Amino acid sequence: MLTRRSVTTGASLVMVAGLLAIFLGALLFQPGLTYARDIKVGIIDCYSGPPAVYSKDALNGFKLALKEINKKGVLGKKITFTTRDTKFKVDLALSMAKQLVMREDVDVLAGIINSGAGLAVSEAVAKKEKVPLIVWIAKSERITGEKGHRYVFSTGENTAMAGKAGGVALSKRPYIKYWIAGDDYEYGHALAKAAWRNLKKLKPEVKLIGKSWWKPGEPDLIPYITSILAAKPDAVIFCTGGRSMTNIMKAIKATGMAKKVAIYIHTATDHAVLKPLGAEAPEGVMGTMDYHFYYPDTPENRAFVKAFRAAYGNPPGFPAFHGYITAKFIAKAFEKAGSLDKEKFIDAMEGLKISSPVGVIEMRACDHQAVLPMFFGITRKSPEYGFVISSDIVTLKGDEVMPTCEEIMQARKGK
């Protein structure tokens, strides 16, 4: 007997069955979709606060390279990316990285400007979950040095390379009495240590007559400069970055310090530092940088700068260069690996060489650190650009400024 109730029950059963069929049908198509899925890069970086200038530049470089790469595709796929803002916080970086790996199922992690976050993500996500991580701005030498492992790479220069570049360049100059000053946090101290260790090794007669440290971003650096000048060193090594960089350059200009004593600051010749200062940028300051959009003046670099300018309106900074080569490394490594397998990707990355705006760059197999050249120059006003740029540039080759593989292995054992 058909009651009204059984009719409604029957109707709902049909509906449930229908829905189930649709659902299963959708599932049927699912494997096909995942099979053809793109290569996914998860980018964790700080997109708020002062560091955002650098991380956005890096992302733009990365995007520009992807545009070129995706025209052809890699293994018949496209490379896509998704970004997460870490707000310069280590705990946020960690949870974002985990989320990208667990939920978004990314093939590679990249980004990171904050060294603390870089080390944490490298240890707790990359190593633990066996997901490759490519750090592109964070400059702590520990990332690929003593804390390095199979799953972490760096496409940016680090404090060991910068310090060694400074040491090598300064050892060729006549100064004996040095003063070291800088930001009182890891970047400043690591840079100071590396510079002094290498300078002392290459030129044992140098003497360190004093040190001063200020808090990062310290607005008033004039007292530091006056006290340094009073001690009459031959040369000063400033180990500073970020906000303090502009502050120290302004203070150097205001006190006329560069006319009284030789000054070396890693990244003093950086366009991002010099451009906003305009006529206030001091001339005669020695600096090192791993990328300039105006040097080397090669067709490759010109083409990169032109494409970047067309896309984003301003010339690329060093982070853009790092982001750009990171994308190139990722594409070429997957191509070489022949699959999306993460272990194969890592094997392919080791010793991989790519062509870049500044020439061929190798991913060193022993420590997963990109071998980057360093450009040593002196700030001088350029009639061509209307602001101060790096001049008299001397190129220090990558292998000249990098710690040797033995040194790295020793540091890793020592931990």
At a CB cut-off of 8 Å and minimum separation 6, what does 254 contact?
Answer: 222
Report the sign of the C-alpha dihedral through residues 403, 404, 409, 411, in that order: negative
Q: What angle do CA 321, 196, 256 make, to 5 degrees?
A: 75
Name residues contacting another protein, limited to 29-48 (CB under 8 A): 48
User: Residue 22 contacts by C-beta under 8 Å, 6 or more apart in sequence?
Assistant: none
**Closer of 12 and 48 to another protein (Cβ):** 48
Q: How far apart are the first and last CA of the chain?
A: 81
Q: Please give the helix or strand (H or E) that residue 85 lies within, else none.
A: strand 79-85
Question: Which of the ranges 65-73, 241-249, 344-352, 377-385 carries the binding residues for another protein, by CB under 8 A?
Answer: 241-249
Q: Measuring CA to CA, how many Å separate 415 from each of 119, 150, 246, 291?
A: 14, 16, 35, 32
Closest CB to another protein among residues 27, 279: 279
59, containing H or E segment:
helix 52-72
| Nearest distance in Å: CB 387, another protein | 11
For another protein, which residue of 10, 18, 49, 351 counts as binding (CB under 8 A)? 49
Total residues contacting another protein by CB under 8 A comes to 48
**250 sits near another protein (criterion: CB under 8 A):** yes
Q: Is 208 in the site for another protein (CB under 8 A)?
A: yes
- Closest of 412, 403, 336 to residue 369, by C-alpha: 403
Candidates 14, 20, 254, 394; binder of another protein (CB under 8 A) is: 254
CA–CA–CA angle 285, 286, 290 (5° rounding): 130
Q: Is 247 in the site for another protein (CB under 8 A)?
A: yes
Q: Minimum distance from CB of 162 to another protein (Å)?
A: 20
Q: Smaller CB distance to another protein: residue 53 or 340? A: 53
Residue 25 binds another protein, judged by CB under 8 A: no
Q: Is 92 in the site for another protein (CB under 8 A)?
A: no
Candidate residues 75, 124, 202, 229; the one interacting with another protein per rule CB under 8 A: 229
Among 181, 262, 286, 388, binds another protein (CB under 8 A): 181
What is the rounded (10 degree) CA torsion for 341, 347, 351, 352?
-20
- The footprint of another protein (CB under 8 A) covers 48-53, 56, 181, 184, 208-215, 217-220, 222-224, 226-232, 243, 245-247, 250-251, 254-257, 260, 272, 276-280
